[in-house]
Amino acid sequence: MSTEQQRPQSTGVFRTKTVEQSIRDTEEPEHALKKSLSAWDLTIFGVGVIIGTGIFVLTGIAARNNAGPATALSFVAAGIVCALAALCYAEFASTVPVAGSAYTFSYASIGELPAWIIGWDLVLEFALGTAVVAVGWSGYVRSLMETNLGWDMPVALSGPDAGGSFDLLAFLLVLVLTAILVAGTKLSARITAIVVAVKVTVVLMVIVAGLFFIKADNYSPFVPPAQAQPAGSGLHAPLIQVLFGYEPTNFGVMGIFTAASLVFFAFIGFDVVATAAEETRNPQRDMPRGILGSLFICTVLYVAVTLVVTGMQYYREMSPSAPLADAFKSVGQPFFAGAISLGAAVGLVTVSMILLLGQTRVFFAMSRDGLLPRFFSITHPKYRTPYRATILLGVVIAVIAGFTSLENLAELVNIGTLFAFVVVALGVIILRRTRPDLHRAFRTPWVPLIPILSIAASLWLMLNLPTETWIRFGVWMAVGVVVYFLYGRSRSRLGRLGRDATF
């Protein structure tokens, strides 16, 4: 490789790291990850992280408050938004098969500072996501223990959300998952496959068993008449309302899109698949299959479940906390209700593990580039996993999950994901113009139209988030910029390459 190819393509904070250099970094023995994943493993990862609290909770909230039986169409709309982003992710993941997902993609297309910002954003997104899901899992397990076994967790160890001070179950779950990830992604893939099989079985059970209890009258009207949505106030109001005076509508045609902004969050996670590109045996072929395949499977399951559940129970009567289980209770089927609760608890294990996997890979990639201490990019001599970063982040997230109630911070996960979607779509457009010579095993169709539509759709959903979420997100980003200029900029390996041509 020539020196010209190795040098950054520009200088300053917008210097870009060439695709060739990104790939070459993966060949350094002590910083290399083991390639062990197939397209099937990636699809399982995607399904494992997407099917979580969304399908077990958001269905009831959206149907009851926003769209009625037409919530099925809301899932279709949200799936289309994610599909637009997935097409962009698939091109990047197959072209730049390096750990780090949107961070790595933006480093190769937009520049170092934007890459740092998106990496900093993903660190927050995956960390909070892992902790939030772990706390949710703890709640399901405590409920099952109390209902079926008569075991009551001491209040002090039940977590802040249950009136305690420390959530022991959430803390222990994250530590166990950390140990599994240190032992290797293939092991975590096998465990994920088992848990996903249980979770998908529960979902299919809902669909098949629920068909026998559908009442046609519950679908009438399929699209309920529109009604004004109660206006938010202050920092709790959606940003689009604060800026433009737009007031979202419940029910009616616009209610379908209002619900789509809610159920979109049931799809969060398919982008985590891209973080495992470097550990995939044939990323050029398998990454697009894993990303798009998992998204398609989950969209079909979401739509089917929504149609069945809204057919079983009138949408005005649906439970906002456990709609699937309560729908079966309403038709006198407690066995299925219990099985659904058990499936939800089991399923959340894979969601936590794969979010933690994504978190460690982004942190590892930033460390390998020198933007974070290089100490954390050393891989385990036997397992070839970023064990130092995994242990550090696992312990930190376990403590967060144990001591913190994260209900108000959960929306930061959503805005972080949508921000990543915007950056990746923009990166596809830029890299097509700056590096048309690159071999692209998968090409996003109709560029720049598809990426532009992806950006517009993501921004629309971001504008529907509360203003206070934007403020918190802005504060976190500002802290990240300060850290970059105080540490990352001067220690960046790419910056040193530009100064002395050694890497």
Pairwise pLDDT comparison (442 vs 190), residue with the higher score: 442
Q: Of 111, 44, 144, nearest to 354 (Cα)?
A: 44
Task: Look up residue 43 and give its two tokens.
Answer: 């699809």
Distance CA 62, CA 85 (A): 23
pLDDT, residue 409, reads: 56
CB 181 within 8 A of CB 356: yes
DSSP single-letter state for residue 177: H
Per-residue confidence (pLDDT) for residue 178, from 0 to 100: 94
pLDDT at 231: 56
pLDDT for position 91: 92
Q: According to the model, what pLDDT value does residue 255 have?
A: 87
Q: What is the DSSP letter of 313?
A: S
Q: What are phi and psi for residue 502, nearest 5 degrees?
A: -120, 145
- Residue 268 CA to residue 40 CA, distance in Å, equals 19
Cβ neighbors of 346 (< 8 A, separation 6 or more) are: 195, 198, 199
pTM of the model: 0.84
Tokens read off for 128: 């909070």
In this prediction, residues 123-137 reach a mean pLDDT of 84
Residue 3: its pLDDT value, please? Answer: 43
Residue 498, pLDDT > 90, answer no
State residue 243's pLDDT score: 83
* Confidence band of 53 (pLDDT split at 50, 70, 90): low
> What is the distance between the alpha carbons of residues 150 and 50, in angstroms, rounded to a whole number?
31
Measured CA to CA, the distance from residue 396 to residue 402 in angstroms comes to 10
> What's the rounded mean pLDDT across residues 292-311?
93
- CA pair distance 503, 501, nearest whole angstrom: 7
The residue that leads in pLDDT, 453 or 343, is 453
Q: Which two tokens stand for residue 364?
A: 């590892």
Alpha helices (H) in 278-386, listed in sequence order: 283-312, 323-330, 334-368
The alpha carbon of 300 is separated from its chain's Cα centroid by a whole number of angstroms, namely: 18
Question: For 237-264, what is the mean pLDDT?
Answer: 81
Given a cut of 70, is residue 423 above it in pLDDT?
yes
Indicate the residue type of 53.
Answer: T
Burial 371-399 (b: 16+ CB within 10 A, else e): bbeeebbbbbeebbbbbbbbbbbbeebbe
Is 229 in a helix, a strand, or coil?
Answer: coil
> Which residues face 167 on adjacent strands?
158
For residues 105 and 92, the answer to whether their CB atoms sit within 8 Å is yes
Alpha-carbon distances of 240 from 164, 170, 232, 313, rounded to whole Å = 37, 35, 11, 33
Q: With H, G, I as helix, E, B as strand and everything else as coil, classify residue 341.
A: helix
Distance between CA atoms of residues 274 and 283, nearest Å: 10
Would you state the structure tokens that stand for residue 328, as one six-digit string?
């079966």
Q: Which of 289, 379, 292, 443 is nearest to 35 (CA)?
A: 379
In this predicted structure, the answer to whether residue 247 has a pLDDT above a threshold of 80 is no
pLDDT in tens, 347-388: 788 888 888 988 898 999 999 999 999 999 999 888 888 999
Q: What is the mean predicted confidence (pLDDT) over 205-234?
A: 85
Determine the Cα–Cα distance for residues 342 and 242; give it in Å rounded to an integer.
Answer: 41
**Closest to 249 in 3D by CA, of 57, 67, 412:** 67
Among 133-142, 253-262, 266-275, the range with the most confident prediction by mean pLDDT is 253-262
How would residue 411 be classed by pLDDT, with cut points 50, 70 and 90?
low
Give the pLDDT confidence score for residue 2 in this predicted structure: 43
**Assigned token pair, 142:** 């405590």
For 382-443, where are the alpha helices, taking DSSP H only?
387-403, 410-434
Confidence category of residue 10, pLDDT binned at 50, 70, 90: low
Asked if pLDDT for residue 1 goes beyond 60, the answer is no
Q: Which position has the higher pLDDT, 92 or 233?
A: 92
Q: Span 70-96, mean pLDDT?
A: 92
pLDDT value, residue 233: 57
Chain position carrying tokens 């909070």: 128
